[in-house]
Amino acid sequence: MAAARPAAQPRRVAARSRATRADAVATLREAAEPRSAEAGAAPPRRKRLAHEAAILQAAERVFAGAGFGGATMAEIAKAAGLPKPNLHYYFGSKKALYRAVLERTLREWLEPADCIVATAEPREALERYIREKMRLSFARPYASRVWANELLHGAPELRTTLVRTLRPLMRRKVAVIDQWMAEGRMAPVDSSHLFFTIWAATQTYADFEVQICAVLGCASLDRAAQARATQHVVSLILRGCGLA
């Protein structure tokens, strides 16, 4: 199926055979930042990068709004301002595009944890982590929702990524927190579950924004409301960790 094929459109063919593989990481590198570091290839055309970014952004919004099953390639194409076959030319399939969106999100999501290291001051590091997560929730709600949607439905596309990428990282971070507690620098809490609580408390502002706005009686959270929410989460959790 992938072999016998007219010699035209080599890039697209490559993308399709790639998408068939289960190797999520490879798909990530190639689909999200295609050929940026490839052997003797010409430097990526500006237009290509721009189009891919536009598609990715449109896909993120549409997937966030309707889930994988509810989103349609036609809608994504319209949102990106490109004809539908173009999406397939760049990303191969709906699933590959979806995965590209997810992988990009994962990268962004893991970054804030960089500040959690053994040498840091617990209170300062945790506060910074929480604030960064809150900032991300408000700045990129669509990305958060696509991620949440994927988890909600059992993570069919990135179960292996969770185990191979997220779990090792979390083991390290959990060890840092445990060390802080062993040194008596914070109250004893379950460090793994502390992360779950922080993730939940922060991302709820992106994922369940409608519910929050409905309860608060506002159309959306303005700067002041965002600051209030951030302050609430930070102080509640820090106090919960005996870091007030």
Partner DNA sequence: CCTACTTTTGACCATTTGGTCAATTATGCG
Partner DNA sequence: CGCATAATTGACCAAATGGTCAAAAGTAGG
Which residue ranges make up the site for a copy of itself (CB under 8 A)?
Answer: 64-71, 145, 148-149, 151-155, 159, 162-163, 166-167, 170, 187, 189-190, 192-197, 199-201, 203-205, 207-208, 210-212, 214-217, 228-229, 232-233, 235-237, 239-242
Q: Which is nearer to a copy of itself, 82 or 225 (CB)?
A: 225
What is d(CA 114, CA 166) in angstroms, rounded to the nearest whole number? 13
Orientation angle between helical segments 191-207 and 209-216, nearest 10 degrees = 70
Q: Is residue 71 part of the contact set for DNA (CB under 7 A)?
A: yes
Residue 23: CB minimum distance to DNA, A? 17
The label of the residue with tokens 């993570």 reads 155
Q: Which is nearer to a copy of itself, 38 or 114 (CB)?
A: 114
Q: Is residue 182 part of the contact set for DNA (CB under 7 A)?
A: no
Q: Is residue 6 part of the contact set for DNA (CB under 7 A)?
A: yes
Interaction partner, residue 212 (a copy of itself, DNA, none; CB < 5-8 Å by kind): a copy of itself
Q: Is residue 89 part of the contact set for DNA (CB under 7 A)?
A: yes
Q: Is residue 88 part of the contact set for DNA (CB under 7 A)?
A: yes
Can you tell me which of 29, 78, 95, 185 binds DNA, judged by CB under 7 A?
Answer: 95
At residue 3, φ and ψ (nearest 5 deg) are -85, -65
What is d(CA 23, CA 17) in angstroms, rounded to the nearest whole number? 11
Interaction partner, residue 233 (a copy of itself, DNA, none; CB < 5-8 Å by kind): a copy of itself
Residue type, 205: Y
- Whether the Cβ atoms of residue 146 and residue 60 lie closer than 8 Å to each other: yes
DSSP 150: H
Using only C-alpha atoms, the chain has a radius of gyration, in whole angstroms, of 21
Size of the site for DNA (CB under 7 A): 27
- State how far the alpha carbon of 219 is from the alpha carbons of 141, 158, 209, 227, 231, in Å: 15, 33, 10, 16, 21
- Whether the Cβ atoms of residue 150 and residue 157 lie closer than 8 Å to each other: yes
Q: Which is nearer to DNA, 5 or 159 (CB)?
A: 5
At residue 157, φ and ψ (nearest 5 deg) are -95, -20
Residue 169: CB minimum distance to a copy of itself, A? 9
Can you tell me which of 16, 140, 145, 173 binds DNA, judged by CB under 7 A?
Answer: 16
What is d(CA 186, CA 199) in angstroms, rounded to the nearest whole number? 19
- The residues that touch DNA, with contacts defined as CB under 7 A, are 5-6, 8-11, 16, 42, 45, 47-48, 51, 71-74, 82-86, 88-90, 93-95
